[in-house]
Amino acid sequence: MSEFHLTEDQQDCLQELINVAMGQASDQLARYLDTFVYLKVPSIESVDAKDLMNTLSQQKNTMAVVSQGFFGYEGIRGEALLVYQEEDSGRIADLLGYEPDELSQDEQLIDISSILTTTFLNVFARQIDNQMSYNAPKLLPSAKENLSEHLQQMPFSWDLALKVNINYQVTDYSFNCNMILLIPETAITNIKHVLDRILAEF
């Protein structure tokens, strides 16, 4: 097994940490947005650069992608991609309580993305006694080549990545979006050390 792939125990530990974080994050989001927020159980997998780009390019009816980098202690870092569909584009203003024409659609996308990303990752960080900082969110064209270029401009390699895919559903507004967390190869070893420490405590 490659040193960058999670063992079964590490994957189970990470899944449980994410499940707990999701429960708390959905509760916080529900209070903030004053509506029920449902988060599906995420998928966790290791992907190489080619598979990663194919996954991103196969998102159906993608209207926009908002990318936001995150980094914490112990070398934990990565990129969060919020993927939005065309049919959800008109619901964001209502969801956030904005008046018509208060903000452009691009600004609305960036606002909701920052809320969804930071709420989940802050809760996740607390589970591992960590603390996250964030880059400013960036709205990207959804084309495959633009996403590939964006990832290639980052200061770390995507030859291999740990990919966590989470689906948000806001039932009152029939609003859905996907959050894809990407942990680059250089940070996978670091997160494995964190998971091993947590496993050793039980």
Residue 170's pLDDT is: 81
Q: What is the CATH number of domain 8-200?
A: 3.40.1550.10
Q: Where are the domains of the chain?
A: 8-200
pLDDT at residue 28, as a whole number: 85
Annotate 20-54 with b (16+ C-beta within 10 A) or e (fewer): ebbebbbebbeeebeeebebeebebebbebeebbe
Report the chain (202 residues): mean pLDDT per 10 consecutive residues. 74 91 85 82 82 65 82 91 75 76 81 89 92 91 61 70 87 79 88 92 82
Q: What is the pLDDT of residue 1?
A: 40
Q: What is the pLDDT of residue 197?
A: 92
pTM exceeding the 0.75 threshold for the entire prediction: yes
pLDDT at 122: 94
Q: Are 71 and 130 within 8 A, CB to CB?
A: no
State how far the Cα of 106 lies from the Cα of 114, in Å rounded to an integer: 12
